[in-house]
Structure 1
Amino acid sequence: MINNILRSFLVLFFIFFTITANANDRTLIFSAIPDQNQSQLNQRFTKIATYLSTTLNIPVKYVPVKSYAAAITAFRNNQVQLAWFGGLSGVRARSSVVDSEAIAQGKEDTEFVTYFIAHHSTGLKKSAQLPDSFAGKNFTFGSKGSTSGRLMPEFYLRERFKKSPSELFNRVGFSGNHSRTIALVQTGAYQLGAVNYKVWENELSNGKIDPEKVSIIWKTPSYPDYQWSVRGDIDTVWGKGFKNKIKNALLNMKDPALLEAFPRSAFISADNDDYLPILHTAKKIGLID
């Protein structure tokens, strides 16, 4: 009888040890929308992976993707369990995985803005509204799936001119990311563009913008943007309470070097309802059915 009890105990211990070991051997994988130069993103998110690995006491790996659509697909297919999305990409990604949630956002992401920028040859100056002389010029958005580089600027263009971008401009492009938008307008390849204000300010502080060649002419009203989102099955796979562990790790990220890489002053709590304005705007201009 004692031998049977001991044998049962050893079996249960072995099962528990195996489950625990497998959990510790698993790697949490995360990604992010490619909104800037990839080398900048690799530098930023490799540091974040190290921070999360140490804080969560598990292996954490950052995996880069080539497009906004690829980030959403990776999230949907469980190739990544956590992602740094823009407002629109986050809405799309969470809708593809039941019970997925936005859990944290930058303090600045509650009131994000887009800058409309112009090459000096246009003669355009900063103004209180988008100027009538926009019509007929060349314009570049960022990525087709970008909140700050496409969704919100297109919404405000349509609201101001009552025309689609293709009707308003002589030529419309999609640069792919905000850094490239700035570069294209600065060189004059495009006369006008729309860019994430955080990327603009970061590039300006790093000496990559020549104010004599390109400048801000208008900024949008504020809107919610970037956020960290987790898959809806995160607790089922990783154990009860794991989602909150990730959230707390992000909210407790205090290292100025890590925050500056985004750049954000802090991360604060977020939820899906914060991004309903993005969903409604996307539906209004036909980017989401």
Structure 2
Amino acid sequence: MLHSRLRQLGLSLCLLLTSASAAMADTFVFTAIPDEDETKLVERFRGVADYLSEQLDVEVRYIPVKSYAAAVSAFRNNQVQLAWFGGLSGVQARRLVPGSEALAQGEEDQAFQTYFIAHTDTGLEPGSELPEAIRGRTFTFGSKGSTSGRLMPEFYLRQQFGEAPESVFSRVGFSGNHTRTLRLVEAGTFDVGALNFKVWEKELAESNVDTSQVQVIWKTPGYPDYQWTIRGDVDQRFGDGFKERVRTALLNLDDPELLASFPRSAFIPASNSDYQPIETVAEEIGILD
């Protein structure tokens, strides 16, 4: 009797696990690099999940991650099939998953910029190039895997000073995300920092910047940055033509409130080749082999 009950219980558990696995297999999962405060990201991407679910007629789920590296790992391990990456993290992910493809980028991502900001107590003023007077100051990047918060600002620092950032500044930090970079420089914890221009402009528009304490001192030239990247095997899992349906859904996303949360004015077509300049820079400064 006991043996029969145990066998029945085991069969029930097996059926339950099989059903759960089948449900997961039918769910299209995506993530995004954690470039801003988590609460903002969750609100933004839940809206994207609802939109994609309606457009694709499948269950769509957003899962947050704690780091840029975790976003790349989740994509590599097929825990997510789609991701909103920065330029560098997208290059890293596509290198790890052959056949993956950049589908769409924001209108503003064709010529993205990094803003160098400084606490007003430093006396540093806005100019057409990075001032020599930043040497010896304290400086913070964003995340180590960020295009606009680390890769490109380091590239321009090396280009101007001919040295690694650790030789230019008295102390170098990594804040983890753009919002935190802004807060650290605004508070005077670091003299100078580098962050993506869209975060600065959004925070400024929402009156979340104390301009008596922090200001932009230099703006980089434009470079390609954020994009939606999808795994190449999604058609096998979700049906023929699924990748193109995702591309179409992203390009047709026109909800003003949702676009403003990125913030982007629209999504436009993107391709892997658009990000060759990012890959080249990453190889030049030793972030990619």
Q: Same fold (TM over 0.5)?
A: yes
Instruction: Tell me the alpha carbon deviations over residues 228-287 of structure 1, each in whole angstroms, 9 at most, x when there is no partner.
Output: 000111112111110000000000001101111101110000010000000000001000
Contact 2:185 2:192 in 1 (8 A): yes
8 Å CA contact retained: 1:25, 1:59: no
Corresponding position of 1:88: 88
Residue aligned with 2:209, SS: coil
Question: In the alignment, what sits opposite 2:6?
Answer: none
Partner-residue secondary structure (3-state), 2:139: strand
SS at 1:53's partner residue?
helix
What do residues 107-144 of structure 1 show as CA deviations (whole Å, max 9, x unaligned)?
A: 11000000000000110110011001111000000000
- Find the aligned partners of 1:251 and 1:198 in 2 and give their Cα distance: 20
Matches of 2:99 and 2:52, distance apart in 1: 23
Matched, 1:195 2:191: no
**1:100–1:231 Cα contact (<8 Å) kept:** yes
Taking structure 1 as reference, are residues 130 and 24 closer, same or farther at Cα in structure 2, changes over 3 Å only?
Answer: closer
Inter-partner Cα distance in structure 1 for 2:251 and 2:23: 24
Q: Is the 8 A contact 2:26 2:238 kept in 1?
A: no
User: 1:262 maps to which residue?
Assistant: 262
Instruction: Give the superposition deviation at 1:24.
Output: 10
Equivalent AA in structure 1 for residue 189 of structure 2: A
The reply to whether residue 220 of structure 1 matches residue 212 of structure 2 is no
TM normalised by structure 2 equals 0.91
Give the drift of 1:93.
Answer: 0.5
How do residues 1-289 of structure 1 correspond to structure 2 at under 5 angstroms? 26-289=26-289
User: What one-letter code is carried by the residue in structure 2 that aligns with 1:159?
Assistant: Q
Give me the TM-score of the superposition, normalised by structure 1. Answer: 0.91
Counterpart amino acid of 1:151? Answer: L
Distance in 2 (CA, whole Å) between partners of 1:278 and 1:234 is 26
Aligned equivalent of 1:15: none
CA, structure 1 residues 156+25, in 2 after alignment: closer, same or farther (shift >3 Å)?
closer
Contact 2:157 2:164 in 1 (8 A): yes
User: For residue 138 of structure 2, what is the amino acid of its counterpart?
Assistant: N
Runs of 4+ in 1 over 3 A off after TM superposition: 22-25
- Using the TM superposition, name which of 135-144 and 231-240 deviates more: 231-240
Structure 1, residues 159-214: CA drift from partner, whole Å, max 9, x if none? Answer: 00001000010000000000000000000000000000000111111111011100
SS across alignment from 1:223? coil
What count of residue pairs does the alignment treat as equivalent? 268
Q: Partners in 2 of 1:139 and 1:124 — Cα distance? A: 13
1:60 shift after superposition: 0.3
Please give the root-mean-square deviation of Cα atoms over the aligned residues, in Å.
1.1
Q: Secondary structure, in 3 states, of the residue corresponding to 2:48?
A: helix
Three-state SS of the structure 2 residue aligned to 1:108 is helix
What SS is found at the alignment partner of 1:61?
A: strand
Deviation of 1:23 after TM superposition, in Å, equals 8.6
Counterpart AA for 2:49: A
Task: Confirm or deny: 8 A CA contact 1:141 1:174 kept in the other structure.
Answer: yes
- Report the Cα distance in structure 2 between the residues aligned to 1:209 and 1:162, rounded to whole angstroms: 32
